[in-house]
Chains A and B, each alone.
Chain A
Amino acid sequence: MEEKEQLQISPQKISGLITEPLIAAIAANNKMALAQTNFMLETCFTKNDSGQYKPIMVEMALNRPVATPGTVENPEPTIQSVVTTFSIPLLSIIPLNSLTITEVKLNFDIEVLSVKDGEDNGLPEIYGKVSSEKIVGKPIISYAMHATQMSLPKGVNIVIEAFSQSIQPITIP
Chain B
Amino acid sequence: MKVEQQIPCPVCVTMIPFDASQLLLGVNFECPNCHVSIGLAADSKPIVEKAVKKLDDIKNTK
A residues adjacent to B (C-beta < 8 A): 28, 31-32, 35-36, 39, 43-44, 56, 58-64, 84-86, 88, 90, 92-99, 102-103, 148, 151-152, 164-165, 167-169
Contacts and interface: CB of A to CB of B under 8 A. Distances in A.
B3 A97 contact: yes
B52 interface: yes
Contacts of B23: 93
B27 interface: no
Nearest to B21: A95
A150 to B, nearest CB: 9
Interface residues of B, number: 34
A120 B40 CA distance: 60
Given A58-B40, A60-B38, A93-B18, A167 B8 contact: yes
Interface of B is mostly: mixed
Interface of B: 1-3, 5, 7-8, 10-11, 13, 18-21, 23, 28, 34, 36-41, 43-44, 47-48, 50-52, 54-55, 58-59, 62
Shortest Cβ-Cβ A-B pairs, 4 listed: A59-B41, A58-B44, A64-B36, A102-B1
B5 A86 contact: no
Given A39-B55, A94-B20, A62 B8 contact: no
B41 A61 contact: yes
A20 to B, nearest CB: 19
A62 B38 contact: yes
B11 to A, nearest CB: 7
Contact of B41 (A60, A95, A165): A60
Nearest to B39: A61
A11 to B, nearest CB: 32
B21 to A, nearest CB: 8
A92 B55 CA distance: 14
